[in-house]
Structure 1
Amino acid sequence: MKKLFLLTFIFLLTFVNSAFAHTHIESSSPGDGEVVKEELKEITLTFGGKLEQGSTFTVQNSGGEQVAVENITIADNQLVGTLSSPLENGQHYVKWDIIGADGHPISGNFSFTVELPVSEAPAEETTQEEQVEKQDDTNEEVQSNVEETDVETTNEEKTEEAGQSNGSSDAMPIIIGVLIVIILVSAFFMLRRKK
């Protein structure tokens, strides 16, 4: 009786272990709770038993938006999916749904955090601000040059007008003198005729 009980117990223990070997996830890359500091190209889930076709997983970001995972492949006890684009910083949730070798569907989930170094976006913004300031300075210089040119043109025009008016005022006494001479000559000839 003790032998039968012992054999039954060993059989049940072995059967339970083999039956539930696939029910848990053994490991993942990235792991549950892991902080990823480099760009992630793929996610790998390793299970305790062989997986059947139809096993899959999805990834969501902290906002609940689904992240595109391409080419999810099943290789014996592994699910491997390729990420179509780099993950944003923050927490991400992986939900897996597998079909074990015995045909039973099993699901579960885990999460990891992405903390990639922040790119030098503020420096680029500063550069853009500097470019805008340089452009403004250039525009001000151009405007200043245009105003100076306008002032020079106005001064030249005034100088020309002044020169013309000076020329006409210089010629005025000569014209008056010529007119006086003509009047005097005419008066002289008129007086002479009368005699």
Structure 2
Amino acid sequence: MSFLLLIPNLTSAHTALSSSNPKEGETISGPLNEITLNFETEIEPISTMSVLKGEEEISFQQVEVTERQMIGTLSASLDNGSYVINWKIVGKDGHTITGEVPFNVQKVVEEEVQEQPTENQETLEKQEESIKEEVDQSENELQETKNKQSNGLSTTLIIAVLGLILIIGFTLVFRKKK
């Protein structure tokens, strides 16, 4: 008799996960902002899901439960790592069923490369800085040379003007004597 009591429970508990995004064992390489779980039959609105990275629970901005689907909108895109979606649904038949969907996130490392300069980038930056210092030093030396030339030209001009005045003065003095 107890065997017959178990049969209705087994046949009623037929609500199961039919598909998910991400899929079980899938590795996501792009941004993931939404998780979708699809079930074989209708589920009750009190059904829930959570996402864990190790012991840390990742919060949803919103979880929407429709007839056969649960959609969770994440607050932020997930970082690289291993995750598990834990779900708990109540089917229309009143039975509670739980399950999990493990998946991974492995985004392209471009962002990390830009944040952490490579040895070549560091070398190039040092060379660029050195070149800037040399250019600044050359500009300073050029300005000093121009200043010296300008001072030298002024002195030459003054000597030439004084020499011309002396020549004109001597010429006038000798003309008056004749």
Question: Could you say whether these structures have the same fold, taking a TM-score greater than 0.5 normalized by the shorter chain as the test?
Answer: yes
Whether the 8 Å contact between 2:90 and 2:96 is mirrored in structure 1 is: yes
How many residue pairs align between the two structures?
171
Report the TM-score when normalising by structure 1. Answer: 0.59
Summarize deviations over 1:52-108 as a string: whole Å, max 9, x none.
Answer: 1121212233472514343523223x2122345432221122122322324454444
The runs of 5 or more residues in structure 1 that have no matched partner are 178-195
Could you say which structure has the greater relative contact order, defined with CA pairs below 8 angstroms and 6 or more residues apart?
A: 2
AA of the residue aligned to 1:116: K
Aligned-pair distance for 1:148?
0.2
Indicate the larger mover: 11-20 or 134-143.
Answer: 134-143
Q: Pick the aligned partner of 1:114 from 96, 105, 110.
A: 105
Whether the 8 Å contact between 1:55 and 1:74 is mirrored in structure 2 is: no
- Judged with a 3 Å threshold, the aligned counterparts in structure 2 of structure 1 residues 37 and 131 are, in CA distance, closer, same or farther, namely same
- Judged with a 3 Å threshold, the aligned counterparts in structure 2 of structure 1 residues 116 and 122 are, in CA distance, closer, same or farther, namely closer
Whether the 8 Å contact between 1:62 and 1:90 is mirrored in structure 2 is: no
Whether the 8 Å contact between 2:12 and 2:95 is mirrored in structure 1 is: no
Report the Cα distance in structure 1 between the residues aligned to 2:72 and 2:163, rounded to whole angstroms: 97
Q: Pick the aligned partner of 2:12 from 16, 19, 32.
A: 19
Report the Cα distance in structure 2 between the residues aligned to 1:120 and 1:40, rounded to whole angstroms: 16
Report the Cα distance in structure 2 between the residues aligned to 1:63 and 1:20, rounded to whole angstroms: 29
- Residue 193 of structure 1 corresponds to none
AA of the residue aligned to 2:138: S
- Residue 31 of structure 1 corresponds to 23
Report the TM-score when normalising by structure 2. Answer: 0.64
The alignment status of 1:55 with 2:47, answered yes or no, reads yes
Q: Pick the aligned partner of 1:81 from 50, 67, 72.
A: 72
Whether the 8 Å contact between 1:58 and 1:69 is mirrored in structure 2 is: no
Q: CA RMSD in A?
A: 4.2
Which structure: larger Rg?
A: 1
- Judged with a 3 Å threshold, the aligned counterparts in structure 2 of structure 1 residues 34 and 83 are, in CA distance, closer, same or farther, namely same
- Judged with a 3 Å threshold, the aligned counterparts in structure 2 of structure 1 residues 137 and 75 are, in CA distance, closer, same or farther, namely farther
AA of the residue aligned to 1:152: K
Report the Cα distance in structure 1 between the residues aligned to 2:103 and 2:90, rounded to whole angstroms: 24
Report the Cα distance in structure 1 between the residues aligned to 2:5 and 2:67, rounded to whole angstroms: 29
Report the Cα distance in structure 2 between the residues aligned to 1:107 and 1:81, rounded to whole angstroms: 16
- Judged with a 3 Å threshold, the aligned counterparts in structure 2 of structure 1 residues 146 and 28 are, in CA distance, closer, same or farther, namely same
Summarize deviations over 1:139-170 as a string: whole Å, max 9, x none.
Answer: 64355224302221123213423553676589
Greater share of helix: 1
Report the Cα distance in structure 1 between the residues aligned to 2:92 and 2:37, rounded to whole angstroms: 16
Aligned-pair distance for 1:112?
0.8
Q: Pick the aligned partner of 1:72 from 64, 76, 89.
A: 64
Whether the 8 Å contact between 2:50 and 2:57 is mirrored in structure 1 is: no
- Judged with a 3 Å threshold, the aligned counterparts in structure 2 of structure 1 residues 65 and 152 are, in CA distance, closer, same or farther, namely farther
For residue 80 of structure 1, give the secondary structure of its aligned residue in structure 2. Answer: strand
The runs of 5 or more residues in structure 2 that have no matched partner are 171-178
